[in-house]
Each structure stands twice: as C-alpha cells, then as structure tokens.
Amino acid sequence: MASHGIRDRVAIVGMGCTPFGEHWDKGADDLLVDACKDAYASARVEPAAVDAYWLGTMGSGISGLLLSEALKIPYKPVTRLENMCATGSEALRNAAYAVASGAYDLVMAVGVEKLKDSGYSGLVSSRPPDDGTLPTMTAPAMFSLLAPAYAKKYGVDEGTLKDVISRIAWKNHVNGAKNPKAQFRSEVPIEKIKSSPRVAGMFGVFDCSGVSDGSAAAILCRAEDAHKYTDKPIFIKALAFAAGPAEGFFNQEYDFTTFQEVVESCRDAYAQAGIRNPREEVSMAEVHDCFTATELVLMEDMGFSARGQAWKDVLDGRFDGDGPQPVNPDGGLKSFGHPIGASGLRMMYEMWLQLRGEAGARQIRDPKLGLTHNLGGQPGRCVSFVSVVGR
C-alpha cells in the first residue's frame, strides 16, 4: 500500500483555455468547443486522434454527453466527473492515469462551468433532498472563519490581517491585469480593496474570487510520445489528492488555521516529485485562492512559509509576480475568475504557458517546477488536489 505516482511518465502536449468571465452569448457547449478547438490546434491533432475524454463540471450539465454532443465525438469514452471546486484537476488526474496505464495513447481532460446564467449572487449549488439541518452558510462565510482564527493563533491584530489579505487581492489583480484571458483585467488600489462592501466576516467583495463562465482543456500522452505533438511538452511530476473525513466539523481541536487535506496532498505530491524543500524548489504555483485568507493559509499548508509566518511573507512580496516564489501569476481565482469545473485546468494552462516561455508580460524567469493546487469544500471539510509539473 503506497502512493507511487507517475513521475515523468505522462506529458501534456496541448492546451486550450477560453477567456473567463461573463459569457452572456455562450452556453457551456460553446465554451467547451472553444477550449477544445484551442487544445486540438495547440497539439496539432485532429479530434479523431484523441482516444478518450474526461470532462469535469460541477453542475453545468450531466454525463459525458455534454461534451460528446457539443463536439460530435463519435462513440468514444467520455467520463463526466465532479469533485467540487477541484473538479477540473480531477479530470486531468484521471486522464493522466489512463495514459500511464497504457489503456490509451492520447486523451483529453476538459473542464467547464457556466455560472452566470443563474441570476444569483455568489455560487449556487443544488443538493439532494435532505432533512433541512445542514448548515446553510455561503462559501465566503465558511472561508471567512479562517481570518479571525489565524489572527488569534498567531497574535496578528485584525487590522494587520486585513492589510495582509488585501495585499493578496491586490497582488492577484496586478497579475490578472497582465492577462488577456482574465475576468478582471485591471489593478485595484489597495484602499479600494480594503473598503469594499462586506460579504462575510472580514471579507469584502474584493476578497472573493470572481463568479464566471469558462472552459479549459488539456491533451495528454505518454512521455515518450510527447515530441510527436510539440517541441515543448510539459511533464507531470506528481498528482495527489486527499478527501478529508470532515474532521473540522466534529473535532474541537480543529482551529481553522489549516487544511489538513492540503497538508496531506502536498506531502504525497512532494514525495512523488522528489521535492524536499518546497519553499526553495517550487518555482511558481497556481493555488486555490477562492478567498484571500485561503491563499494565506495555503502558503503554510504547502510549506511555502513556516507556520505563523505566511502573513509576513505576503507583506514582504515573496509571492508577487516578480517575487522569489510567484503565486497565482495568472491572477488566480481572484482575478482570472472561477468557473468551477474549469479552474483546475486553467491553473495548468498557466503552467503550460510559463514552462514554455509563452506567458508574455507575466513570464517568470526560467521556472523549473510549477505547482497547481485545487481545493473543494470548506475549512474542516474539503478535498484537495496538488500537481507538480516541469519540463
């Protein structure tokens, strides 16, 4: 019993990603066609060359037919999957294993979400009929529990913590402003972020990721075949996933300053990739900044900062686009937007661009290893995905 990983056995040879945002003129099927068309072109393959598909969407459709019908895929396996906000990454992980197993030569992982048709503020999800006793907190409320807990545990006063989380939002907007595909493409003054209308707890509107429509896709093959499709493939070093037992909901010792699921999935991923010191060895990361305080806590759970020190690293600019360890160089969920099923693959799209030197104005100098991290659920009860990729 062990997690062996598939280091350097699978390559990503093509990717596509739509702009994220309010696509009033496009349905989920249109977004899927846009992302897949880009990905086929990027890998220089005809659709017929792809042997199997994994489609991630939280709620913009059901079954593989959502994809096969939109793309007129003729009688091939299309798996539809869902793992909350980590859905897109799950499509990639399962597709990668299919290639590694030798079952298929060329596969595609696709994610999509169409959120802006609901007419509601924030994220809306349906759940099976229940007894009416489940907590009805909104996503920002659940994640806002992190901020006062972190402040208390590490003796950071709430004013300073507000500065810290506002700086995270500011940084991600600065990055997103340089990204033509991001939902929000302008820098936002830090004072405006700090004074934005309250949504939940310490969070204002600018502490929350964008609700958006979008789709992203990746084409994968065995590493030895990668150069048939592109001169600059990227290689999967690690894929890890952890679903928690909801310990934080039951155990009084859980203090809302960490995601154990992230700690565990990172440990597995670093072991697979041979990373001993993530703070030094990971060149860049796309992490699940659904809310600003989430990104703060993630820096510690992922080993980028020591416990209780991430707030200082944030203020020091360590994770800025031009800092020593850029985090969310594409703008993150905050600025790029968060169409649930597409986000994990959007993160990988940034790794694809950065590792190939195609990230334009936000290109990081000579990145070696990139990390993507995707979280679904809430503090104390969540799923966590981590990948490490490199050249």
Partner 1 sequence: MAGITRFGSYVPFFRVQRTALGGGRGARAVASHDEDSVSMAVEAARDALRGAAAPELLLFATTSGAYAEKTNAATVQAALGLPEQIASAELGGSTRMGLAALGLGLDAATAGRRALVSAADVVIGAPGGSRESGGGDAAVAFVTGPDSEACARLLGRASATTELLDVWRLPEERFAKQWEERFGAEVLGPALVDAATRALKDAKVEPTELSHVILDATNPRAAAGLPRALRLKPEQLADGLESQVGRAGAAHAGLVLASVLDQAKPGARILVTSLADGCEALVFEVTDRIAAARPRHTVAGWIGSKRDDLAYNNWLKWRGILPFEPPRRPDPERPAAPPMRRNERWKMAFEGARCTRCQTGHLPPQRVCIHCGAIDEMAPERFADRGCKVATFTLDHLAYSLQPPVVAAVVDFEGGGRLTCELTDVEPASVAIGNELEMTFRRLYTGQGVHNYFWKARPRR
CB of residue 140 to partner 1, shortest distance in Å: 6
CB of residue 304 to partner 1, shortest distance in Å: 24
Alpha-carbon dihedral 164, 165, 171, 177, rounded to 10 degrees: -150
Place of tokens 């360590």: 318
User: Whose Cβ is closer to partner 1: residue 198's or residue 391's?
Assistant: 198
266 belongs to the catalytic site: no
Annotated catalytic residue within 85, 208, 290, 382: 85
User: Are the C-beta atoms of residues 344 and 372 closer than 8 Å to each other?
Assistant: yes
User: Whose Cβ is closer to partner 1: residue 135's or residue 180's?
Assistant: 135
User: Whose Cβ is closer to partner 1: residue 177's or residue 246's?
Assistant: 246
User: Whose Cβ is closer to partner 1: residue 296's or residue 327's?
Assistant: 296
DSSP state, residue 83: B
Place of tokens 């310490």: 202
Which of 86, 137, 87, 146 minimizes the C-alpha distance to 294?
146
User: Whose Cβ is closer to partner 1: residue 90's or residue 113's?
Assistant: 113
Rounded distance between C-alpha atoms, residue 113 and residue 358, angstroms: 25
Annotated catalytic residue within 23, 173, 288, 338: 338
Rounded distance between C-alpha atoms, residue 333 and residue 328, angstroms: 8
338 belongs to the catalytic site: yes
Which of 332, 330, 315 minimizes the C-alpha distance to 375?
332
CB of residue 149 to partner 1, shortest distance in Å: 5
Binding footprint of partner 1 on the chain (CB under 8 A):
119-122, 124, 129-133, 135-138, 140-142, 144-145, 148-149, 152, 197-201, 245-247, 249-252, 254-256
DSSP state, residue 116: T
CB of residue 30 to partner 1, shortest distance in Å: 25
Which of 385, 388, 348 minimizes the C-alpha distance to 86?
385
Residue type, 357: G
CB of residue 274 to partner 1, shortest distance in Å: 32
As annotated, the active-site residues are 85, 338
